[in-house]
Amino acid sequence: MMKVCEIFLSIQGESTYAGLPCVFIRMAGCNLRCVYCDTAYAYEEGTEMSVEDVVREACSYGIGLAEITGGEPLQQREALLLAKRLLDSGLTVLIETNGSISISDVDRRAIIIMDIKTPGSGMPGSLKIENLKLLKPDDELKFVIADRSDYEWSRDFIKEHDLPDICTILMSSVFGSLPPAELAGWILEDRLKVRFNLQLHKYIYGPEERGV
């Protein structure tokens, strides 16, 4: 059994899969407390469900793309089996993780989207650095930028670890805090090898809407 906060169909708002219909499986619980977290309700809310029931519900939408998210999904070991079962059912599976838990046991067919926590998140240093060596070319790393110092920290981290040689790098601004145009300008000025990201779902449905 696992604790699931919600399962819903929406438009994927982030990553290179942005714009595609996607089934979201939001697991309950998180080991971090980012200051700008927009899913704090997932810290505690949730219903006990079996892996089989979650797979059945996710597949019932008839959509070939699913994301396991949270909270922090890898806090629950059942998420590993869930990913495998969804993959075995023919779905493309994204796993969004905060990088603080090892991804060594994640099914290699799944696509990892790992959030590197910046100083502006309030959770810097939470990354399990060994995870960088476990990433595949089709995985993605995400930096959420709160201000100029966050950007400079991320830019230096990207260069220090040669991240563009590992996988796709995503960079987005904190919604409602840092204007996207400002971040885009910094990226262009530095010719940074990253993909600029917007949280499309917030522009489509609004920042407070749940289940989207």
Q: Which residues pair with 3 in a beta bridge?
A: 48
Answering whether pTM is above 0.75, one says: yes
Helices (H), the chain: 51-59, 78-88, 148-160, 180-190, 200-205
Cβ–Cβ < 8 Å for 74, 114: no
Cα–Cα distance, 207 to 212 (Å, whole number)? 10
Return the structure tokens found at 12.
């994927």
Which parts of the chain have pLDDT scores under 70? 207-209, 212
Spatial distance between the Cα atoms of 211 and 104, rounded to a whole number of angstroms: 30
Instruction: Give the fold, CATH level 3, of 2-205.
Output: TIM Barrel (3.20.20)
- Give the pLDDT of residue 212: 66
CA distance linking residue 10 with residue 74, whole number of Å: 22
At 128 the pLDDT is 96
Q: How far apart are CA 121 and CA 167, in angstroms?
A: 22
- Residue 39 has a pLDDT of 86
